[in-house]
């Protein structure tokens, strides 16, 4: 339940609770909070059971955690009916990226001046001007 709370945060919460409620009322507050959490859990479990009963026997193995998109995708990928593992294993992203960067670097050095660097401040030469417009002015 408290997987994402660290020890320092837990100590801070305890000290804050003692300061807010006082050492005399703190045990009563803790009992009330645990009782409320227990009632909420019982309510949610009974609601889940009611939903399962209403869905019928074809959904007897239905899990509500499957409604989480991450869980649903993970479960579908574990099935691997489409052979996705083979596709994923056959695709090496690092290799592909290395090939692309090599191609880009080799093209830069092929077109670069003798210094080996491409001067990005120079503009390319303008194309020669034609006498006619590149589009039909009446059509636009």
pLDDT at 3 over 60: yes
Backbone angles phi, psi at 38, to 5 degrees: -65, -40
Q: So what's the pLDDT on residue 43?
A: 96
Greater confidence (62 vs 108) lies with: 62
Greater confidence (131 vs 13) lies with: 13
| Domain with 19 in it | 1-62
In a domain, 121, yes or no: no
Q: So what's the pLDDT on residue 84?
A: 64
Residue with tokens 């009992």: 31
- Our count of domains for the chain comes to 1
In a domain, 49, yes or no: yes
Rg value, the chain, Cα: 33
In a domain, 57, yes or no: yes
- Kindly state the tokens that stand for 126: 């303008």
Q: What are the strands, taking DSSP E only, across 1-140?
A: none
pLDDT at 140 over 70: no
- Determine the Cα–Cα distance for residues 95 and 103; give it in Å rounded to an integer: 12
Q: So what's the pLDDT on residue 38?
A: 97
* Confidence bin at 106 (pLDDT 50/70/90): confident
> Average of pLDDT values for 22-26?
90
Residue with tokens 């303008």: 126
Contact yes or no for 64/48 (Cβ under 8 A): yes
In a domain, 11, yes or no: yes
Tell me the pLDDT of the chain averaged across its residues.
78
- Determine the Cα–Cα distance for residues 40 and 46; give it in Å rounded to an integer: 10
Q: So what's the pLDDT on residue 46?
A: 93
Q: Name every residue whose Cβ is closer than 8 Å to that of residue 74 and which is 6 or more positions away in sequence.
A: none
């Amino acid at each position: 339940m408290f997987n994402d709370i660290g020890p320092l945060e837990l100590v801070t919460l305890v000290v804050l609770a003692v300061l807010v409620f006082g050492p005399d009322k703190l045990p009563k507050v803790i009992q009330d909070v645990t009782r409320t959490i227990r009632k909420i859990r019982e309510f949610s479990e009974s609601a889940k059971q009611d939903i399962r009963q209403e869905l019928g026997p074809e959904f007897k193995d239905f899990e509500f955690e499957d409604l989480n998109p991450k869980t649903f995708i993970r479960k579908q990928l574990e099935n691997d009916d489409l052979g996705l593992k083979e596709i994923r294993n056959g695709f090496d992203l690092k290799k592909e990226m290395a090939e692309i960067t090599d191609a880009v670097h080799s093209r830069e050095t092929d077109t670069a001046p003798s210094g080996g660097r491409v001067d990005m401040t120079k503009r390319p030469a303008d194309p020669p001007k034609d006498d006619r417009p590149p589009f039909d002015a009446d059509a636009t």
